[in-house]
Homo-oligomer: A and B are copies of this chain.
Amino acid sequence: MAYRTSVLRLDRDLALRERILACALQRVSEGGFAALTMQALAEDAGIATGSLYRHFRSKGELAAEVFATASQGEVDALAQTLRGPGSPAARLAAGLQQFAARAWHSRRLAFALIAEPVDPEVDEQRLLYREAYAELFVELLAEGVALGVFRVQQLNLIAACLVGAIAESLVGPLSPPARAAREAGRQSLDLAEVSQSLITFCLRAVGAEEPQS
């Protein structure tokens, strides 16, 4: 009986942990990491703040896990497109377009993942995930170079340049001030413009033929 009780308890603990993470992701999607306080989260999950700390030692640890969960989803989505059918240049363009569109449709979350000032634990995860993105680009670049359609040499370095360009190009358009400007009807770029500029920038940068537009 003792064994069975422990298993049940473990299951319940895991289910509660998942529920806390889901609530946390919801908070970050709506108000960024700034909205992720342990007290508010405990209320969302319907538990005491003390119980929250049984599952996550600190806010930083929790934020890092929310970050990793959300980012892994983005890496997986990008991997699928970059490894999909089509020429390397077409896949690069499709991957950039998809990445920008996903960010655009979850702006608050995307800004939180890319640039919101937050605990060092999240910065650590940012470095790791930028490497994960870079690895995907290295794969694609190697393929394009082998086919003679990309003209680059230091693939790791060029992949890092791509990751940096993509992330930084979205910071401004996704930032809360940009959102306020859009909502107030003041001029700001739309998704199609951002996406097209980013694609042209990256294709040229890797020495691909410019797409006919």
> CB within 8 Å of B: which residues of A?
115-124, 126-127, 130, 152-154, 156-158, 160-169, 171-173, 189, 193-194, 197-198, 201-202, 204-207
B172 and A160 contact, CB distance less than 8 A: yes
List of B residues within 8 angstroms of A198 by Cβ = 157, 161
Contacts of A202 in B (CB 8 A): 205
Main secondary structure of the interface of A (DSSP, over half): helix
Docked-complex contact B154 and A197, CB < 8 angstroms:
yes
Q: What residues of chain B lie closer than 8 Å to A160, measured between beta carbons?
A: 168-169, 171-172
Q: Which of A121, A124, A130, A162 has the most CB of B within 10 A?
A: A162
**Which residues on the B side are within 8 Å of A124 (C-beta)?**
117
In the assembled complex, the Cα of A189 lies from the Cα of B159 at a distance in Å of 14
Expressed in whole angstroms, the minimum distance between the Cβ of A134 and any Cβ of chain B is 8
